[in-house]
Amino acid sequence: MDDSAPILETRAISLGFGGVRALSDVSFRVETGEIFSIIGPNGAGKTSMLNCVSGRYKPNEGQVMFKGRDITRLTPNQRATLGLGRTFQNLALFGHMSVLDNIMVGRHHLMKNNFLTGGLYWLTGAQREESEHRRHVEDIIDFLEISHIRKAVAGTLPYGLRKRVELARAVAVRPDLILLDEPMAGMNLEEKEDMARYIVDLNEEWGMTVIMIEHDMGVVMDISHRVMVLDFGRKIADGLPDEIMSNDHVKRAYLGEDDMDEVA
């Protein structure tokens, strides 16, 4: 892979559901190592955009390039295997499973032993493989500070912790690019600060490129390297946080002209 190539590039993505245009002609690039935020009013097509990248939706037109490769026609699980992880806007943990099992599901595609060789546990290295995976999972658990709840059933945890477990599960896939759909929605100030710190650490220490949808402008402007603004399925701006804050177009469409003082 060429170092200068973007990790993700979308080319003129258009997506429609029946008569409704969800996305029109959206192109953007995300460079390796960035925290890239997508903002915009409700119904602007942010989640649709994320779904086109993760593969849940197939765009009607346009291409999605990941690590220099056209992934437009790949299934979501193939994309995950290539190194693309995501979390969901509405919590989507496996509620009946323990926290540990939830995270282990994310390791599935990384394990090589199948069904038959797994049965010959000690001969085929399945044991070594298993313990190696356990160690990675432990690293993730330590990093997100959820070791005290590892045995807990995921569905019984409070909201903020569940969000963290969901992040842990997405990180377990060991993605190079992680898509976060409103990671801080519904959190209190303290939880938001923690989450922002985890995201920055994932980016800086774990080397993950992050694409994030978030409504909390304070956080977005604080931790993003670049920001893209969508409105009615169209890209109206992208650039550095400062540029976005001072962009007249953006103010009109999203932030509301008089609110800028509050945000800053």
Partner 1 sequence: MNWDFLFQLAVNGIIVGTLYGVVAMCFVLIYKSTQVVNFAQGEFMLIGAWVCWALLVHFHLPFWLGFLVTLAFMMAFGVLLQVVVLRPMIGEPIISIIMVTIGLSLFFQAAMKWMFGVNAQNFPRVFEADSVDIFGLSVQPAYLMSFVISILVMAGFFYFFKFSRFGLAMRATAFNQQVAQSLGISVKSVFAMAWAISAMVSALAGVVVGMVNGVSSALSFIGIKVFPAVILGGLDSIVGAVAGGLIIGLLENFAEFADGQYFHWGNMYSIAPFWVLIIILVIKPYGLFGTKNIERV
Residues that bind partner 1 (CB under 8 A): 54-56, 75-77, 80-81, 85-86, 88, 92, 94-97, 101, 104-111, 115, 118, 169-170, 172-173
Q: How far is the CB of 42 from partner 1 (least distance, A)?
A: 19
Which residue number, 179 or 227, has a Cβ lying nearer to partner 1? 179
Residues 36 and 145: their CA atoms lie apart, in Å, by 25
For the chain, how many residues are written? 264
Which residue number, 67 or 226, has a Cβ lying nearer to partner 1? 67
Residues 94 and 156: their CA atoms lie apart, in Å, by 11
Q: What is the token pair recorded at 91?
A: 């919590």
Lookup result for tokens 């790949």:
74
Q: How far is the CB of 105 from partner 1 (least distance, A)?
A: 5
Specify whether the CB–CB gap between 178 and 209 falls below 8 A: yes
Q: What is the token pair recorded at 217?
A: 């402008």
Which residue number, 88 or 254, has a Cβ lying nearer to partner 1? 88
Which residue number, 99 or 172, has a Cβ lying nearer to partner 1? 172
Q: How far is the CB of 48 from partner 1 (least distance, A)?
A: 14
Q: How far is the CB of 171 from partner 1 (least distance, A)?
A: 11
Q: How far is the CB of 174 from partner 1 (least distance, A)?
A: 10
What is the residue-wise DSSP string for 124-185?
TTHHHHHHHHHHHHHHHHHHTT-GGGTTSBGGGS-HHHHHHHHHHHHHHT--SEEEEESTTT
Three-state SS at 86: strand
Q: How far is the CB of 230 from partner 1 (least distance, A)?
A: 21
Which residue number, 7 or 80, has a Cβ lying nearer to partner 1? 80
Q: How far is the CB of 251 from partner 1 (least distance, A)?
A: 34
Which residue number, 47 or 247, has a Cβ lying nearer to partner 1? 47
Which residue number, 120 or 263, has a Cβ lying nearer to partner 1? 120
Q: Which of 34, 38, 33, 40 is nearest to 53 (CA)?
A: 38
User: SS3 for 235-258, per residue?
Assistant: EEEEECHHHHHHCHHHHHHHHCHH
What is the residue-wise DSSP string for 6-44?
-SEEEEEEEEEETTEEEEEEEEEEE-TT-EEEEE-STTS
For residue 222, what is the DSSP state? Answer: H
